[in-house]
């Protein structure tokens, strides 16, 4: 991407050092020495090592996403502190039949990590506050939540105004959507991290294909089952008030 040459040079020097020694031992001085520049060059582009890690991930992923997807499908964040509005980090691919198909995005996210496998294995071995894993969770949880709201809206598009309003309130009210967003975000991130940290495993297309869009298809199924269950069990009480709770366990 144009305009990032100097910044990328610093970040790649950092990444190369991380592949040769423990992350905590890599210093700003080492990075500066690797690129033949003064320490000020590092601080011109980054405030600390944590920012290098998050920016390089965003840069790596944005390159892959821009090459694979139309601009209209790419998701970027608004400008703000700690944001990179010119680096897309997600894809929202809503198909004409209402299916949210994001399997290609998850494939590219996985490939992004694999392209610098040794580096990302080292970085993602660090857990807890300030880690890349935590950053991924904070980055993607709001997007998965927005996906859930979009799926609810599409599912109820053909309902009458009153029914749609009540169903939306039931499905999205309280902590229901937050719980689902937290659960599915944590699930796909942990799967990515586990695959990266473990030895490479072989996956045939036949094994993967039925589950390639499991996050969004599972969410759509939960929404569908919740709506149908309430209708079958009389989810409306006298007075027009909703009855059964959303996403009720069977």
Domain 1-70 in CATH: superfamily?
Tetracycline Repressor, domain 2 (1.10.357.10)
pLDDT tens, 169-220?
878 877 889 999 999 999 999 988 888 888 665 665 555 555 689 999 999 9
- Evaluate if pTM is beyond 0.75: yes
Domain parsing of the chain, residue ranges: 1-70, 92-232
Q: In whole angstroms, give the CA distance from residue 175 to residue 198.
A: 34
At 204 the pLDDT is: 55
């Amino acid at each position: 991407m144009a305009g990032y040459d100097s910044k990328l040079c610093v970040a790649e020097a950092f990444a190369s050092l991380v592949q040769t020694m423990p992350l905590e031992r890599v210093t700003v001085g080492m990075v500066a020495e690797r690129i033949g520049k003064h320490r000020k060059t590092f601080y011109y582009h980054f405030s600390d090592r944590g920012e290098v890690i998050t920016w390089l991930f965003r840069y790596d992923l944005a390159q892959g996403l821009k090459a694979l997807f139309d601009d209209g499908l790419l998701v970027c964040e608004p400008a703000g502190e700690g944001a990179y509005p010119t680096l897309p980090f997600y894809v929202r691919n809503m198909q004409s039949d209402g299916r949210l198909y994001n399997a290609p995005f998850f494939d590219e996210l996985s490939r992004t990590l694999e392209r610098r496998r040794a580096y990302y294995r080292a970085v993602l071995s660090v857990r807890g506050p300030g880690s890349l894993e935590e950053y991924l969770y904070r980055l993607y949880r709001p997007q998965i939540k927005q996906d859930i709201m979009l799926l609810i809206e599409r599912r109820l598009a053909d309902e009458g105004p009153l029914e749609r309003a009540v169903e939306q309130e039931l499905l999205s009210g309280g902590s229901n959507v937050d719980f689902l967003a937290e659960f599915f975000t944590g699930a796909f991130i942990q799967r990515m991290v586990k695959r990266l940290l473990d030895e490479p495993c072989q996956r045939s297309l036949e094994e993967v294909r039925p589950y390639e869009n499991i996050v969004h298809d599972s969410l759509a199924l939960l929404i569908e089952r919740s709506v149908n269950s309430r209708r079958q069990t009389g989810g409306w009480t006298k007075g027009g008030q909703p009855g059964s709770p959303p996403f009720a366990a069977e």
